[in-house]
Structure 1
Amino acid sequence: MTGSTDGDAVGQAARPYRVGFLLIENYTLMALASGIEPLRMANQLTGSELYTWQLLSADGQPVNASDGVTLMPDAAVGDSHDFDLVLVVAGIDVTQSFSSGEVSWLRSLGRKQVALGALCTGAYVLASAGLLDDYGCSAHWECLAALQEGFPRVHCNNRLFTIDRDRMTCTGGEVPLHMMLHLLCRRHGQPLADAISDMFVCERIREDSEQQPVPLRHQLAVAQPKLAEVAQLMEANIEEPIELRELAQLAGISRRQLERLFFKHLGCTPSRYYLKLRLDRARRLLKQTSCSIVEIASMCGFVSATHFSRCYRKYMGAPPRSARANVRTAPSLNQSTPVQAFELRSPASEALQRARAEPTFGVFTYTPVPDDPDSGSGTG
């Protein structure tokens, strides 16, 4: 980020780095928290006010998050500010959620060369202001198609986050945490970023080059039917993968056209996407079945267990046996668990308890919602 990598200790001591979070109606609360918390922890661990932050809205009035929580901002965009970085936080229905006043204010910051960024779908707001032209851009998969169609000068990608000169954009959920950790690493060094990661029990700091998982049917089934058709063919032919040339013929396009579609909309080759589908299936089988690794390799279209293990380790970051080691034994539904008379169990808790016996339980790796009483260790 411009003006944030010089390591000027004297300048940092003189005043904190000031970050503004512009809340767009229906913003995602989780993305906001993931963006703020690393700054708070940087201050806590160093014992210094390295960072300050303010919540902003168009008129200084409360803003509703997508989950219904209402927050009172610290100020309105029209108030006097002197930020080093402003991040736009958006969420659902982003194309209809922002105002011309917010766009005008962001443009004024751009003219002042203030560093700008976006969390979740906030990149759409920056793009609407013309502030992402000729910049690399990451955004939640829900708005990628709209960005690509509406703003051809924005260099959209499917990465978790992108830091391009004085712009930083990212997808949603807990990804802002990782983007902010990279910013902190640039400004203060790796040891502080690692210490913050440890405090949040974050297993690793994710890289900007990592791709977000994109539900293809949701994103491209209408806009890119050929691409969706090929993806469905891939999903239906895991055990015996189809050659790319044949896939292209079945979709009625050339192989070169197929490769261009995958690069443009998914940021990867058809072969890489196909391999990821097969490895995802393998991971589910490892967790859900007692099949041997040799059997799973065959079921997922690999020529040998050795080849499968090598690919799995490369793309999943751990050997196949690690997925099996994390499988937890589900309690029998016939076993009665003593419950104290004062305990109140919600329908959600009961449903989650029942789900522990399902073969799909814990298949997806995710960060549990903090107040989920049955989230366990989060290793699923």
Structure 2
Amino acid sequence: MNKQPPATGQAPRRFVFVLVEGFTLLSFAGAVDALRIANRAAGRDIYEWVIMTEGGAEIASSAGPSFYAGSDLEELKRDDTVLVCSGVDVQKHCSPKLLNWIRREARRGVRIAGLCTAAHVLAKAGLLNDKRATIHWENHDSFAEEFDEVELTKRVFVIDGNVMTTAGGTASIDLLLKLIAEDQGEDLANNVADQQIYTTIRTDRDTQRLSVPTRIGVRHPKLSEVIRKMEANIEEPISPSVLAAEVSMSTRQLERLFRRYLNRSPKRYYMELRLQKARNLLMQTDMSVINVALSCGFSSPSHFSKCYRSHYDTTPYRERGSHGAKPV
């Protein structure tokens, strides 16, 4: 049964957007607009929101546009909901002041969400220890390497107690629609989705990435199964002959299948998956190059460097340096 809207005299529920340098504009805008449309659909202000930044400074999004904060990081009301918004290079912007503020507000019982890559901020603050969480798929590998105490999922969003995380992009809309439905009823949440032309509301059971057949544009069950096995075994690669046997094919049949649909050999495709993970780790973590190599199934640093240069036309060390990571 749908929850009835609160009495007209009830104060609006407040959302506090904490913007971090380089935040993803889509995640922020989608969440704000869901609240705006909810007010419009309800015919009154059932929600209000403020923007905060560290020091009350102007903050630039990864897309370029900047936003002025309403205030510095200040003490909140118990029933506020904090939405931390971050994006690219989130590791560089987890300042001690921001982390301490998040810890303090969490201890006071404030509900806190991390949009897009902000799961990294919440994990750094210790809020995700022994909890379930999600983060944008591009940051999944680096997050898993740094925070092994977090049960990382590939869901669109996750709610675990008073802590929430989203996978970025339009996932913030899904989370806000869920919160609006819990607060005001599903009719209003559906009205907001309709106004946004958001035809498929995802739940916390939906995964963030497209299925393998959709991603590769091929609906072949055995090919999809082999690719899933490759993606799940990056650190200890499985030989093509074993992969073929596991889907009841010969190695030659598997070779033909990859050539026909993906125009490359299974070995080449597997190598590209491993190098993509290596690139993510080099750009998003402070792991040493040798540890990156080992995490991606390369036992020899020289072989890793040779393969990396062949694919990306640069060395792992230069890749690391070009993105300003700490020296290793």
Under TM normalisation by the shorter chain, which class is it? 0.5 to 0.7
Counterpart of 2:11?
15
CA distance in 2, matches of 1:192, 1:134: 34
| C-alpha spacing 1:237/1:17, structure 2 compared with 1 (3 Å) | closer
What residue in structure 2 maps to residue 112 of structure 1?
Answer: 108
Inter-CA distance 240–34: structure 2 relative to 1 (3 Å threshold): closer
Q: Which residue of 1 aligns with 2:62?
A: 66
| 2:222 aligned with 1:241 | yes
1:212 equivalent in alignment to 2:208: yes
* Alignment counterpart, residue 251 of structure 1, candidates 238, 256, 263: 238
Deviation at 1:188, TM superposition (A): 1.3
Query: Aligned-pair RMSD on alpha carbons?
Result: 3.6
- Whether the 8 Å contact between 2:15 and 2:50 is mirrored in structure 1 is yes
1:44 aligns to what SS in structure 2? helix
2:4–2:185 CA contact under 8 A, matched in 1: no
Deviations 1:7-51 (A, max 9, x none): 7835x8431111111101000111100111111111111122211
**Match of 1:32?**
28
Structure 2: give runs of 5+ residues left out of the alignment: 248-260, 263-328
Query: Deviations along 1:63-121, whole A, 9 cap, x unmatched?
Result: 011011111011110x3432521011000011112311000000001110100111100
The C-alpha deviation readout for 1:219-264, integer Å capped at 9, x for no partner, is: xxxxxxxxxxxx9xx97997583676x9899815999xx9xxxxxx
User: Partner of 1:75 in structure 2?
Assistant: 71
8 Å Cα contact 1:115-1:166 kept in structure 2: yes
Q: 1:81 to 1:6 in 2, by over 3 A?
A: farther
One-letter code aligned to 1:53? W
Q: Normalising to structure 1: TM-score of the pair?
A: 0.56
List runs of 5+ in structure 1 lacking aligned partners. 217-230, 259-269, 272-298, 301-380
Q: Distance in 2 between matches of 1:199 and 1:214?
A: 25
Tell me which residue corresponds to 1:134: 130
Out of 77, 94, 97, the position equivalent to 1:98 is 94
CA drift at 1:142: 2.0
Residue 250 to residue 27, structure 1, CA distance change in 2 (3 Å): closer
Distance 2:186 2:75 in 1: 34
Taking a change above 3 Å as real, the CA distance of residues 197 and 26 of structure 1, as seen in their structure-2 partners, is same
Distance 1:213 1:7, change over 3 A: same
SS of structure 2 residue aligned to 1:203? coil
Whether the 8 Å contact between 1:137 and 1:154 is mirrored in structure 2 is yes
Is the aligned partner of 1:164 residue 2:164?
A: no
Alignment of 1:180 with 2:167, yes or no, is: no
Task: Output the CA distance in 1 between the equivalents of 2:60 and 2:32.
Answer: 18
How many angstroms apart in 2 are the aligned matches of 1:236 and 1:37? 33
CA contact (8 A) 2:5 2:184 kept: no
State the Cα distance separating 1:208 from its structure 2 match: 1.8
For normalisation by structure 2, the TM-score amounts to 0.64
CA distance in 2, matches of 1:50, 1:197: 17
Q: Does the Cα contact within 8 Å between 1:124 and 1:143 map onto a contact in 2?
A: no
TM-superposed deviation, 1:207: 1.9
In structure 2, how many angstroms separate the alpha carbons of the residues matched to 1:213 and 1:145?
14
1:201 correspondence with 2:182 = no
Instruction: State the shift of 1:201 in Å.
Output: 1.2
Q: 1:134 to 1:8 in 2, by over 3 A?
A: farther
Q: Hey, what's the Cα distance between the residues in 2 that align with 1:237 and 1:46?
A: 44
Offset, 1:192: 0.4
Change (3 A) 1:122 1:215: farther
CA separation of 1:129/1:240 partners in 2, compared to 1, >3 Å: closer, same or farther? closer
Contact 1:25 1:98 in 2 (8 A): no
Deviation at 1:146, TM superposition (A): 2.1
Q: Matched residues, percent identical?
A: 29
* Alpha-carbon separation, structure 2, partners of 1:186 and 1:194: 12
Once residues 131 and 59 of structure 1 are traced to their aligned partners in structure 2, the CA distance between those partners, rounded to angstroms, is: 22
Q: Is this contact kept in 1: 2:156–2:166, CA < 8 A? A: yes
Q: Relative contact order: is structure 1 or structure 2 higher (C-alpha 8 Å, sep ≥ 6)?
A: 2
Q: 1:61 to 1:235 in 2, by over 3 A?
A: closer
**Which 4+ runs in 1 deviate beyond 6 A?**
5-8, 234-238, 246-250
Partner AA of 2:6 in structure 1: A
Distance 1:237 1:178 in 2: 28
Residue pair 2:22, 2:87 contacting (<8 A) in 1 also: yes
